[in-house]
Structure formats: C-alpha cells, structure tokens
Chains A and B, each alone.
Chain A
Amino acid sequence: MDSKLKFNIKDLDLFYGDFQALKNINMKICEKEVTAFIGPSGCGKSTFLRCLNRMNDLIDSVKIKGEIIFDGQDINGDIDVINLRTRVGMVFQSPNPFPMSIYENVAYGPKCQGLKDKTKLDTIVKDSLERAALWDEVKDRLNKSALGLSGGQQQRLCIARTIAMDPEVILMDEPTSALDPIATAKIEDLMQSLKKLYTIIIVTHSMQQAGRISDKTAFFLMGEIVEFDDTHKIFTNPDDKRTEDYITGRFG
C-alpha cells in the first residue's frame, strides 16, 4: 500500500490571516487513483487542493503549518516550486486558455522549461491533444486562437496543456462547473482514461460526479475532513451522520 502512496498529508493547518481555513488535515492519496473532494462551499476543499502544488503562495496572507509529503519530500519545505508544479499540474474551475494559438497553448509549458526542438514540441502537442481527446477537433486549426474554441473544448485544451508537462498528479478544481452536461460528460470520460496514467485529485460540487468517477472520496466541512474512504462506502454506508446528511441533500 505504502509503495503506491503519492501524497501523505500530516496535521495540516492553514490560515488566511487570523481565519483558520483548514484544521488538522491528515490524508493519504494513492497513485493512479481518482480522489474526489466534496463538501459545501467555503469548506476548504479548494484551498486544500491548492496546497498540493503551492498555488497558495500567490496569496500573501496565507500561513501553513504541518507537512505535505510528496514522494518522500515535504513540499512546504525548501523545494523548487517550479519543479513541483511541473510534476503536479492543475486545471482550473473556468477554462483559462491563454490568448494565443492552440498549438502555443499546449507548447507553452514545455517551452517555459527550455524545450526548443520543433519536432519534439510537435510530438508533445499532438500526443497531449490526443490524450485530451481534442486532437480530431482541432488538428486543422492548431494555429488559430484558442479563444475561438467552445467552453468544453477550452477546458480539454487546458487539460492537454497540463498533460504536455507529463505530470505525475493532476489537480482539478471543479473542472466542469462552467460547462454544459455534454461537455461535462466528455471531460468525465477523459478522466476515466487519464487515471490509468496519472493520479487525479478533483474538487467537485456534484456528488453524482464524485460517485461516477472517483475511487476515493473525502467529505470536507468547515475546514475539517469529516470522512475519507472508498467512494462506494461514502455513498452507501457513511460512518458519519453529517456525511450522510450531506450526500442525501439535507444540507449544503
């Protein structure tokens, strides 16, 4: 079991100024599984997700205590953040392709790492778009602006962009909340195929989505993890009364 461990979070506390947003989080996340975080708005699940690739660095008032061990190394310690973010990629809530061509969007990450070889870049772009199930739709317009794509295509482009970095983990922060049901279904299919290659951690507001795609589910409430277990168990036989109330729609 331990050999498959990707993230080991121990006693994590996070403060926005004086406000404690995460309280004593302990969690083990395994390789090549889909882990879903559910919970009502403001419960800290997105904040926790952003801890995993240090995106909270962008907010000045954030203070973090505790350990996040990623492949044996505490990422809150003295590590190369840039390197961490190439290994732990992230897809955001609303699609945010850069205002450049589709090709440039996918090639952006590798280029930032100093890759200049055109043939290598071409291969990476094609592979990434294929894995993100977008290649057939955009192969004739790679040099057109990414802003001309539909919302669902843009989000798959953002996933392709993340895959282009060949990360070990992909964090997804409500990746389908801005999309219609058809685009959502496509992204969910995509996640099923991606989980063979990557560890996926997803924050979602849709319990059906968590139930459909995840192997493990964590239920957050008021900055704490109420319950973290196999998705099947959480949705059929939760240990905690609050979990049951939430997934049956009694609050939240």
Chain B
Amino acid sequence: MGRKAKDILVKSIIYLATGITLSVLLFIIGFIFVKGIGAINWNFISRDYNEKVFYAFVENSSVPLTIEPKVMENKTTYDKKYETPLEAPVYVENIGAAITKVQYKYYSTDREQFIFSYIEKNSPFQNAVQSNGAPVDIGTDYILQSVNGTDLTGLSTNDVKTLINDQTGQLKLKVISPGGGIKSNIITTLYMILLSLAVALPIGIFGAIYLTEYAKAGKVVNTIRFATECLAGIPSIVFGLFGMAFFVVALNFQISLLSGSLTVAIILLPVIIRSTEEALKTVPMAFRQGSLALGATKLQTIFKVILPCAVPGIATAVLLSVGRVIGESAALLLTAGTVAQIPGTLLSPGSTLTVQAYYVAKEEGNIELACAIGIVIIVIVIILNILSRIASDKLDVFNKK
C-alpha cells in the first residue's frame, strides 16, 4: 500500500470517529428534546410535583360574568393532554368561577373531576383562606372535590352549580392544587449547589493553597495528591454509601438536604483542589518573589497577589463543581431522598432534578417527563457555562490592560 493510500485511510478513520461522536451527541440531545419538549410549559416549571389537597373557606357572593359566555366556554386552561372535557363549562355566580367536568388520565390515574376553567377578577377566591386564617391561592386548573362536605363524585356540572347555589353563608371547599411540575426539584437543586459549594469551596481552596504554597515537596504531598486523584475516580455511589452510613445514620442527620450536600461536598473536593492547584501553579514565581521582596508576609502574598491571579481557574472549578452537583444522582438518591418537595429545613429531604428524572422514569415509567427534566438540566448547564465564561473573563486580572 502506498503512502498516499495509507494517509487517506487514516484520515478517513479520523473523520469517521469525529462524525460518530458528533452524531451520537446530537442524537441523544435530539432524542431528549423531541421526547420531552411537549411536556415543557410554564406550569411544568412553576408547579410542585405532588398534588396538594387543602380546604379553602370562601365567602358566598354574587359575581356576574363579565365576558361573553362563548368566550368563557372556550377557555380551556386545563392540561389538554391529560384532561378531556366531558361537559361544557358552567359559570357559577356564587363563587365567580366557571367549572368544567373533565376526564383525567395520567399513567396509573384515571378519574372524572371538576376543575375551575375560568375565574373572575373579583371572585371571592381572591380572599380565600385556610382553616387557620392564612390566605390560600386558588387558580385555574385546580380541582374541586367537595362543597361543604358533599362529595362531587358522580354529579353533573349543573348538579354542582345547583349544589353551590343552595348553600348559604361561607363555603368550605375541598380543593386539590394540580401537580406534575418540577419547581421543588429546581429549588432543591439550587439549595444543594449552594450548600455543597459553601462547604467544599473553602476547604478545597485552602487545601490547594497548602499543597502549592506551604507543603514541602515530598512523600506527604505526593500521598495527598495521589489520594485526591483516587477520590476523583471513585464512583459516586460509593460516596453515597459512605454518606448514608456516616451522615444519615451515624451522625443522625437523616435522609436530608444536609446529608446530601455534605456527601456531594466530599465528591466535589478533589475537583476543586485539583483545579485550584493548577490555577495556583500557573501564577508566576516572580509575583511571589516580588511580593516577598516588598516586605509582604506569605499570607499577604497569597491573598493579595496569588489568589486574585488564580480566580479564573477557581471559577472553572466552581463551574465544574456545579455541573457535578447537577449531574449527581446516585449519591443523592441514598442521602437526600426522592421526596419531591422544597426542603423546609436542613434536615428535611428533597430530590434534585436528576433524582427526580430517575424517579419518574423508573418508578412511574414516565419517560416523557424524565426527558422534559433532562431538557431543563441541559438548559441550566448551558446557562451556567455561559455565565462562568463571562465571569472568568471579567475576573481575569491579566485581561485588564
């Protein structure tokens, strides 16, 4: 085989490999987008995952319909994918809202329910309170289950209207706020990022400072370095097991935000130490000498000259860490739990986006929702990447000429 033919062969292998990599990447992202994009809307982002049942007390009043009945009937504010209307909407003046009977089909759930398809601006719902007097929000697509203790199952829309019209005084409504959203998961993910970084960043940065500026080259430093590299390579489920045994059980933090973020902080440490160390190493020796020769102490040198130079590198470390937290699922499954709620305290559980994606795909077989979560994760990662580029450009002391 001639040299030219060989060249062409090798070249084509290189192009082929690049092509395969690119198409696999595009295929995966494309697949996720195609599968999940249908489920993404504002409700998906802004609602909790779980339905919430609550009682609301509403003043019985008389609010006339201010829009054309035809327009009111065409208002289909509910989720048309899972809810099919069974009867035409009916406007109820006593509560200033229109009620529609729909068939709700969502994986294992299949039931008939009444939902609010339209609410007047001065409806008494605006002043709805809970039994403890706290104001409560009732919006469209919320489900009405019972009125003053009478269950609505099996009734027609007009029956419900008559029922409400017959009541006098304050109305006690049993309402369900619709679920299916990932607001709580987004917030839990943000909490997790902030908490784990708050723990891992200072420790990691100080550790890196020790390794580059203080430790004398030798066995100890080599051992620490070797250990960090090994830690970086250990699969996260192992850290998860440790976190479960140590934070959850031994320290009795329970399955909680705290256990989860501490476990993730341990996973982050090697990444932060390595990148900060690399950043510190690239700061020229001449800066250290120059600073010391001016009578600065070692600490002043580190904090006033060396660290500011290393900021872009540290920003990269932060970005990598955030990506790691967002992507982490195995360790969090064991330490932070799968409860889709906003953790009220450090010791309450909550699931991040990735854990939720695992949960809905595995436990509910809802691939569409999992893919929709995947899209949200991809978008967040892209935004973070852009932000960190801007940040490290702005913070780079060598850029300001």
Residues of A whose CB lies within 8 Å of any CB of B are: 53, 55, 58, 60, 82-83, 85-86, 89-90, 92, 94, 96-100, 108-109, 112-113, 144-145, 147-148, 158, 161-162, 165
Contact = CB atoms under 8 A, between A and B. Distances in A.
Interface string B214-238: 0011000000000000000000000
A67 B80 CA distance: 91
A147 B290 contact: no
Contacts of B288: 58
Given A99-B397, A147-B401, A148-B401, A109 B286 contact: no
B320 interface: no
Contact of A113 (B216, B295, B305, B308): B295
A98 B290 contact: yes
B284 A112 contact: no
A172 B352 CA distance: 59
Interface of B: 216-217, 284, 286-297, 300, 304-305, 308-309, 397-398, 400-401
Contacts of B304: 108, 112
14 contacts: A92-B290, A96-B287, A96-B290, A99-B308, A108-B294, A108-B304, A109-B295, A112-B295, A113-B295, A144-B401, A145-B401, A147-B400, A165-B294, A165-B295
A98 B293 contact: no
Given A55-B293, A99-B308, 11 more contacts: A55-B292, A60-B216, A85-B293, A98-B287, A99-B397, A109-B294, A109-B296, A112-B291, A112-B296, A158-B290, A161-B294
A96 B289 contact: yes
Nearest to B301: A112
B397 A100 contact: yes
Nearest to B293: A90
B31 to A, nearest CB: 46
Contacts of B286: 92, 94, 96
Contact of A82 (B217, B297, B401): B297
Q: 8 closest pairs, A vs B, by CB?
A: A86-B295, A96-B286, A99-B397, A90-B293, A109-B294, A148-B401, A112-B296, A85-B295
Contact of B289 (A55, A108, A113): A55
Among A58, A98, A113, A147, max chain B CB count under 10 A is at: A98
A112 B300 contact: yes
Contacts of B217: 60
A55 B286 CA distance: 12
Contacts of B291: 98, 108, 112
Among B284, B304, B308, B398, max chain A CB count under 10 A is at: B304
Contacts of B289: 55, 58, 90, 92, 96
Nearest to B295: A86
Nearest to A93: B286
Contacts, number: 78
A112 B294 contact: yes
A89 B304 CA distance: 19
Contacts of A162: 293-294
A190 to B, nearest CB: 18
Contacts of B397: 99-100, 145
B190 to A, nearest CB: 33
Contacts of B400: 99, 144-145, 147
A87 to B, nearest CB: 8
A147 B284 CA distance: 14
A148 B98 CA distance: 69
Contact of B295 (A60, A83, A97, A99): A83
A210 to B, nearest CB: 22
Contacts of A58: 288-289, 292
Contacts of B297: 82, 112
Nearest to B294: A109
Contacts of A94: 286
Nearest to B300: A112
B117 to A, nearest CB: 62
Contact of B284 (A60, A96, A145, A158): A96
Contact of B305 (A86, A98, A161): A98
Among A109, A144, A148, max chain B CB count under 10 A is at: A109
A60 B215 CA distance: 11
Contacts of A99: 287, 308-309, 397-398, 400
Nearest to A54: B292
Nearest to B284: A96
A38 to B, nearest CB: 22
A2 to B, nearest CB: 28
Nearest to B290: A96
A55 B401 CA distance: 30
B294 A89 contact: yes
A194 to B, nearest CB: 17
A228 B337 CA distance: 78
Nearest to B216: A60
A82 B287 contact: no
Contacts of B309: 99
A86 B296 CA distance: 9
A85 B287 contact: no
Nearest to B297: A82
A60 B218 CA distance: 12
A160 B295 CA distance: 15
